[in-house]
């Protein structure tokens, strides 16, 4: 993890560059997978399970018996933790519900807006080196609250052909019963085109490796929406002398252990702060079971010492981190937080670890990465809905509004648009 001292702004993009994603090379691998799933359906999914997961899958759907058995394999302590997280996530996402909007913009002209659930959604849950049962909560809960009629969950099986028990338990807990043993780009392809077992969906959610990400981006070209473009996980920690170095180091490593292409950034107010944190990183990384992954991620990572708060905040907004942790003096928190305009989710204070948002505080952990926090939001209740607008105009309303429409249409040289109003106004004159 290299250290930069007050780098000039023109160097920020280069010095803080995220690991390169070779999209074209990945697409060359993914496209044939998608084509096979489109043509062969379940047969292709089973072939790919044998090829990539090294398992012979007979039944792609998880059975009720498998789900019941999984419950017995999940420790009571973990069950209670999942239930607590579920409650907090439900509270926060339920509070995001908004009433339908209805108003008169002028006499006789009523405009409305209503949230309508996306009917069919697909949830992709990684199950490889880290089975992300927490993502089942983060995606399944808002899907349920939004009122999505059909929810399908795809996750890769292990070498015995089973889905991780915690994933099955969590899915069952929130009422998801269509759970498919399929992972990778082939899962995304199945949810895009549909197979005998997997229904085609309207929108696909969930994190995944570079192949899953490429498949999701290709799905968009076929008319399927996705939650957001995705890249490797990342965190930026802004720390002054009030930050506790061991806390900061633990947060940096919690993201570094995600994968070798993850990136962590430390923005420190002094070299002394940076050195203390880096010392802790070196100590803590050796204690991790995933230390080799974390160490490789640290090779992509940077500690930056900035001379003042203004420059530090400017750099943070330029980088647009997925996760931003602010560990500064309490009296400075409000000012710093108020000036952040580009971040997926913000964690404030020494006692707010990023892992709280990953699991159980209530906010969603499906967030924009790779700088997309400049123009994308994280997953929320709104992600599972569409906003439909309505308008109703009375005879009085068209008389009030009609002349405005006629003038505008005439000046845009759209004669039929004007006529649609003129004919109505003439009708009212003739029948008054």
**Is 211 part of any known ligand binding site?**
no
413, 419 in Cβ contact below 8 A?
A: no
pLDDT tens digit sequence for 373-396: 999 999 999 999 999 999 999 999
Half-sphere exposure of 297 (CA within 13 A, CB side): 25
Q: Determine if residue 124 is labeled as part of a ligand binding site.
A: yes
Residue 240 structure tokens: 């002054």
d(CA 350, CA 344): 19
What would the two tokens of residue 18 be? 């995220």
Q: Above 90 in pLDDT, residue 303?
A: yes
What are the b/e assignments for 323-358, b being 16+ CB within 10 Å? bbbbbbeeeeeeebeeebebbbbbbbebebbbbebb
What integer pLDDT is reported at residue 242 of this predicted model? Answer: 97
Query: Over 70: is that where the pLDDT of 45 sits?
Result: yes
* DSSP symbols for 204-264: EE----HHHHHHHHHHHTTT-EES------EEEEEE-TTS-HHHHHHHHHHHHTT-TT-EE
Eight-state DSSP code of residue 95:
T
Q: In whole numbers, what is the pLDDT of the chain averaged over residues?
A: 96
Beta strands across the sheet bearing 263-268: 2-5, 302-305, 263-268, 234-239, 323-327, 345-348
How buried is 399 (Cβ within 10 angstroms: 0-12 exposed, 13-18 middle, 19+ buried)?
middle
Nearest in space to 205 (alpha carbons), one of 259, 144, 162? 144
Q: How far apart are CA 284 and CA 248, in angstroms?
A: 11
> Confidence band (pLDDT; 50, 70, 90) for 128?
low
CB of 383 closer than 8 Å to CB of 142: yes
**Per the annotation, does 287 bind a ligand?**
no
- Is 358 annotated as ligand-binding? yes
The CA-atom distances, in angstroms, between 361 and each of 16, 138, 168, 173, 253 are 29, 11, 22, 18, 20
Q: Is it the case that residue 34 has pLDDT exceeding 80? A: yes
**Can you tell me the mean pLDDT for 71-81?**
97
pLDDT tens-place string over residues 221-235: 999 999 998 888 999
CATH architecture of the domain formed by 23-100+116-226: 3-Layer(aba) Sandwich (3.40)
Q: Average pLDDT, stretch 124-149?
A: 93
Least confident of 12-21, 154-163, 186-195, 362-371: 12-21
Helix (H, G, I), strand (E, B) or coil at 168: helix
Q: Strand, coil or helix: what is 269?
A: coil
Long-range contacts formed by 427-430: CB under 8 A, 24+ apart: 428/395, 428/398, 428/399
Ranked by mean pLDDT, the top range of 8-12, 120-124, 214-218, 227-231 is: 120-124
Q: Please confirm, yes or no, whether 323 is among the known catalytic residues.
A: yes
Residue 252: which pLDDT band, with cuts at 50, 70 and 90?
very high
Calculate mean pLDDT across residues 336-340.
98
Supply the angle between the helices 184-193 and 42-52 in degrees, to the nearest 10: 170
State whether residue 163 is helix, strand or coil: coil
Give the pLDDT confidence score for residue 88 in this predicted structure.
99
Are 234 and 321 spatial neighbours (Cβ–Cβ below 8 Å)? yes
Q: Where are the domains of the chain?
A: 23-100+116-226, 231-377, 394-430
Catalytic residue among 280, 323, 354, 365: 323
Identical fold, 23-100+116-226 and 394-430: no
Sheet arrangement for strand 109-117? 101-106, 109-117, 385-393
Q: How far apart are CA 214 and CA 208, in angstroms?
A: 10
DSSP β-bridge partners for residue 3:
303
Residue 278's pLDDT band (boundaries 50, 70, 90)? very high
The active-site residue out of 234, 257, 280, 322 is 322
Q: Please choose, from the candidates 267, 393, 281, 241, the residue with its C-alpha nearest in 3D space to the C-alpha of residue 340.
A: 267
Of 33, 345, 370, 427, the closest CA to residue 219 belongs to: 33
Question: Would you state the pLDDT for residue 25?
Answer: 84
pTM for the whole structure: 0.94
Q: Determine the Cα–Cα distance for residues 106 and 238; give it in Å rounded to an integer.
A: 49
**For the residues 67-91, what does the mean pLDDT come to?**
97
Model pLDDT, residue 129: 65
For residue 155, how many other CB atoms are within 10 A of its CB? 28
What's the whole-number mean pLDDT along residues 24-47?
95
Is 210 annotated to bind ligand?
no
pLDDT > 80? residue 130? no
Which CATH class, in words, describes the domain spanning 231-377? Answer: alpha beta
For residue 22, pLDDT over 80 is answered with no
Whether 164 has a binding-site annotation, put simply, is no
pLDDT tens-digit series, residues 179-213: 999 999 999 999 999 999 999 999 999 998 889 99
Please tell me the class of the 394-430 domain: mainly alpha
Q: What pLDDT sits at residue 63?
A: 96
Distance separating alpha carbons of residues 253 and 234, to the nearest angstrom: 10
Q: Output DSSP code: residue 17.
A: P
- 250 assigned binding-site residue: no
The whole-angstrom separation of Cα 215 and Cα 7 is: 37
Contact 232, 263 (CB under 8 A): yes
Confidence check: pLDDT of 267 > 90 = yes
Beta-carbon count within 10 A of 380 CB: 16
Give residues with Cβ within 8 angstroms of 133, minimum separation 6: 82, 125, 164, 166, 167, 169, 170
């Amino acid at each position: 993890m290299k250290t930069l001292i007050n780098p000039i702004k023109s160097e920020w993009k280069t010095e803080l560059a995220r690991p390169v994603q070779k999209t074209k090379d990945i697409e060359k691998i993914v496209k044939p997978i998608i084509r096979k799933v489109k043509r062969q359906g379940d047969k292709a999914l089973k072939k790919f399970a044998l090829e990539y997961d090294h398992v012979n899958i007979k039944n792609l759907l998880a059975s009720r018996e498998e789900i019941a058995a999984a419950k017995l394999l999940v420790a009571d302590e973990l069950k209670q933790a999942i239930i607590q997280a579920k409650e907090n996530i439900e509270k926060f996402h339920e509070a995001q519900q908004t009433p339908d909007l209805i108003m008169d913009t002028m006499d006789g002209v009523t405009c409305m807006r209503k949230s309508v659930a996306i009917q069919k959604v697909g949830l992709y849950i990684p199950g490889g080196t880290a089975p992300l049962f927490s993502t089942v909560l983060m995606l399944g809960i808002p899907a349920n609250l939004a009122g999505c009629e059909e929810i399908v969950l795809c996750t890769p099986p292990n070498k015995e052909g089973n889905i991780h028990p915690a994933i099955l338990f969590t899915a069952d807990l929130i009422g998801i019963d269509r759970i498919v043993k399929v992972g990778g780009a082939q899962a995304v392809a199945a949810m895009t085109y549909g197979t005998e077992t997997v229904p085609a969906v309207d929108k696909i959610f969930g994190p995944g490796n570079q192949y899953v990400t490429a498949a999701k981006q290709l799905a968009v070209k076929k008319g399927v929406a996705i939650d957001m473009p995705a890249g490797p996980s990342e965190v930026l920690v802004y720390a002054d002398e009030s930050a506790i170095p061991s806390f900061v180091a633990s947060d940096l490593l919690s993201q570094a252990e995600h994968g070798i292409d993850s990136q962590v950034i430390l923005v420190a107010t002094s070299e002394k702060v940076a050195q203390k944190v880096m010392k802790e990183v070196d100590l803590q990384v050796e204690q991790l079971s995933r230390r080799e992954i974390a160490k490789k991620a640290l090779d992509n990572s940077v500690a930056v010492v900035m001379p003042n708060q203004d420059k530090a905040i400017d750099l943070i907004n330029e980088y647009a981190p997925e996760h931003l942790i602010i560990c500064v003096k309490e009296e400075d928190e409000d000012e710093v937080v108020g000036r952040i305009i580009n971040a997926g989710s913000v964690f404030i204070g020494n006692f707010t670890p990023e892992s709280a948002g990953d699991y159980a505080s209530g906010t969603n952990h499906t967030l924009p990465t790779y700088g997309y926090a400049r123009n994308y939001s994280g997953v929320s209740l709104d992600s599972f809905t569409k906003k439909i607008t309505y308008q109703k105009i009375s005879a009085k309303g068209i008389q009030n509004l009609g002349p405005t429409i006629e003038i505008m249409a005439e000046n845009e040289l759209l004669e039929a648009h004007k006529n649609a109003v003129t004919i109505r106004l003439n009708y009212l004159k003739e029948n008054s």
